[in-house]
Structure 1
Amino acid sequence: MKIVCVGDSLTAGYGVSKKANWVSFLKENLNYEVINKGVNGDTSFGVLTRSFQDIIALKPNICIVLIGTNDLLMNRSVENTLDNIKTLVKEMVENDILPVVAFPPKILPSLAKEKWCETIDYQKVNDNLLKLRNLLLAFCSKNSYKSIDLYEAFSSISEGNSYNYYLDGVHFNTRGHEIMYNLIVKAITECI
């Protein structure tokens, strides 16, 4: 069994050690080959342009895709981001790869303004992340694709508890990656 994980810094593990992100936890705890193809700063278009090299050519059984946050931070449209993810999933299915679509988690605006970038309208980004989540949920439900709702999972975290899980309001610390791992490993187990 081979699993490829594609996405942006949330997959690459920005801000934590190589052994302390959700993909590394999968490698440690599953008896499968797990390949991290996360790229810091990547977008849905970026993943799409490297999909043959990073997904199709590797011939995984399962591909977990977690992408979209940077698209929306860069003020790209939700619809364009959704279309790119749909195309990516279609390519996977056409190549007998089981897609698992993770919905990007929300951002904590006050922490992100303090630690990441103060000029971004994080409320607008969160509104668009929620819109993307809802559209991806409908897409996955309609097509019976496995999904992981990280947006919902991290929505209950209050600003006061944010340091327990977030590094900077956008990225996660080891505890945040542990939550992601638990949700993702549960979804993978249901696929196998």
Structure 2
Amino acid sequence: MRTVCLGDSFTQGFGVNRDENWVYLLNTPCSTFINKGISGDTTGGMLARFCSDAVHEKPNYLFITGGFNDLISGVSETVPQANYFAMVHQAFHNNMIPVVCTAPPFDPDAARAGWPELTDFDLVKDRYLALRNWLLSFANAFDLFHVDFYGEFEKVLSRNPGKDFYIDGIHLTSEGHEQIADIVLKALYSF
């Protein structure tokens, strides 16, 4: 099985070593996971590099995770919605099975110093929840495989009160990436 993971800093693994990233942790002798995450990328950037980063890799599956940076930059939720829609349909056109993914939750109060001056992170969180709901509805409406990292990671946080899985309220520690890898493995068994 060959899988491309297309995304932003969550996929790229901002702040952790390459071998601590959730995409890397999923590689086995029978399964290849290719990390095509770029820190700071938007879904528009992901769509622009779709051919080079997804189609040319000829994967069986394509995990798509993004939208957070779109909302930080102030665009409407309709922009990442349209880009997800396009990427899913391009995946099907190129014989890939798309997997629609939400990003893990984040803590606006723990954002890195200076970042709150960029945007209102509380507003971004509210808007991301609206995008998450749309992504889950979209996946259900089109009977798509999906992984709700947001909901699943909330369960991890509730089982581990007081445990900090974040570097800066947004990006995950190596332990956080291990939890994400476990969530993907469980999801793969259900596909």
> Given the two structures, how large is their TM-score scaled by the length of structure 2?
0.91
Matches within 5 A, 1:3-42: 3-27=3-27, 29=28, 31-42=30-41
Q: Check whether the contact 2:153–2:180 (CA below 8 A) recurs between aligned residues.
A: no
The verdict on how the C-alpha distance between 1:72 and 1:58 changes in structure 2, with shifts beyond 3 A counting, is same
The verdict on how the C-alpha distance between 1:2 and 1:127 changes in structure 2, with shifts beyond 3 A counting, is same
Q: Check whether the contact 1:2–1:34 (CA below 8 A) recurs between aligned residues.
A: yes
Aligned to 2:147: 148
Q: Check whether the contact 1:108–1:162 (CA below 8 A) recurs between aligned residues.
A: no
Residues 35-73 of structure 1: per-residue CA shift (max 9 Å, x gap): 111111110000000001111121100011111111111
Aligned to 2:183: 183
Number of corresponding residues: 188
Aligned to 2:42: 43
The verdict on how the C-alpha distance between 1:36 and 1:123 changes in structure 2, with shifts beyond 3 A counting, is same
Letter in 1 for 2:174: T
Aligned to 2:102: 103
> Given the two structures, how large is their TM-score scaled by the length of structure 1?
0.91
Local SS of the residue matching 2:137:
helix
Local SS of the residue matching 2:98:
strand
Tell me by how many angstroms 1:102 deviates. 1.0
Divergent runs of 4+, >2 A:
153-158, 160-163, 188-191
Tell me by how many angstroms 1:184 deviates. 1.3
Letter in 2 for 1:77: S
Tell me by how many angstroms 1:163 deviates. 5.9
Q: Check whether the contact 1:115–1:168 (CA below 8 A) recurs between aligned residues.
A: no
Q: Check whether the contact 2:7–2:37 (CA below 8 A) recurs between aligned residues.
A: yes
Q: What CA distance in whole angstroms lies between the structure 2 residues aligned with 1:89 and 1:53?
A: 16
Local SS of the residue matching 1:172:
coil
Aligned to 1:54: 53
Local SS of the residue matching 1:110:
helix
Q: What CA distance in whole angstroms lies between the structure 2 residues aligned with 1:176 and 1:111?
A: 16
Range 73-82 or range 29-38, more displaced: 29-38
Local SS of the residue matching 1:65:
strand
Q: What CA distance in whole angstroms lies between the structure 1 residues aligned with 2:154 and 2:34?
A: 28
Percent identity over paired residues: 35
